[in-house]
């Protein structure tokens, strides 16, 4: 069974645990912001309550937390996403990607899904390309990818 638990419904202890995942070096190494304080984290989650352009979820599979998916810059036509596995959990990238695709295209009904990925994050790039995303732009550090609803993968 799959469950998506919205960040805004989590207890403070659950949010503290989530911050440990996010700041773990295996996760933070691939983030734009490397380390987040507890105060920043709690303030961010509080801000999500009134922000319809962002959705952040902990993903549970068979009752066990396995990672995070988030969708942001949500509009009627497009949104961006990110995902990461819980530290020490391996082999769940495709599962998390499936949840992103399902939520974006089925629940939000967007036509286009975008993401950016560090050029050094080969695992993520491979996952995105395998799922029908195409590289549409790049800069010094990042690749920008896009998937059109019903296209590829």
- Could you give phi then psi for residue 30, rounded to 5 degrees? -110, 15
- Residue closest to 133 by CA, chosen among 91, 106, 108, 104: 104
**Among 32-36, 46-50, 51-55, 120-124, the least confident range:** 32-36
pLDDT band (50, 70, 90) for residue 152: low
Q: Is 70 exceeded by the pLDDT of residue 153?
A: no
Q: How far is CA 18 from the centre of its chain?
A: 13
Question: Helix, strand, coil: what percent of the chain each, to 5?
Answer: 35, 30, 35
Can you point out the beta strands (E) in the chain? Answer: 2-6, 54-61, 64-72, 78-85, 112-118, 134-138, 142-148
The tens digit of pLDDT for each residue in 43-75 reads 999 999 999 999 999 999 999 999 999 999 999
CATH of range 2-111; options 3.40.718.10, 3.40.1410.10, 3.50.50.60, 3.40.630.30: 3.40.630.30
| CA pair distance 106, 50, nearest whole angstrom | 23
The tens digit of pLDDT for each residue in 96-108 reads 999 999 999 999 9
| CA pair distance 103, 36, nearest whole angstrom | 26
């Amino acid at each position: 069974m799959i469950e998506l638990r919205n960040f805004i419904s989590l207890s403070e202890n659950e949010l503290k645990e989530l911050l440990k995942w996010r700041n773990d070096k295996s996760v933070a190494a691939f983030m734009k912001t490397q380390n987040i304080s507890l105060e920043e984290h709690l303030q961010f989650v509080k801000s999500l309550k009134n922000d319809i352009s962002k959705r952040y979820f902990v993903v549970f599979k068979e009752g066990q937390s396995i990672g995070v998916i988030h969708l942001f810059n949500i509009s009627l036509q497009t949104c961006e996403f990110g995902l990461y596995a819980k530290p020490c959990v391996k082999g769940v990238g495709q599962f998390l990607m499936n949840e992103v695709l399902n939520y974006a295209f089925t629940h939000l009904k967007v036509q286009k899904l975008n993401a950016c990925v560090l050029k050094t994050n080969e695992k993520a790039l491979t996952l995105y390309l395998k799922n029908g995303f195409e590289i549409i732009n790049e800069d010094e550090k990042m690749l920008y990818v896009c998937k059109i609803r019903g296209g590829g993968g």
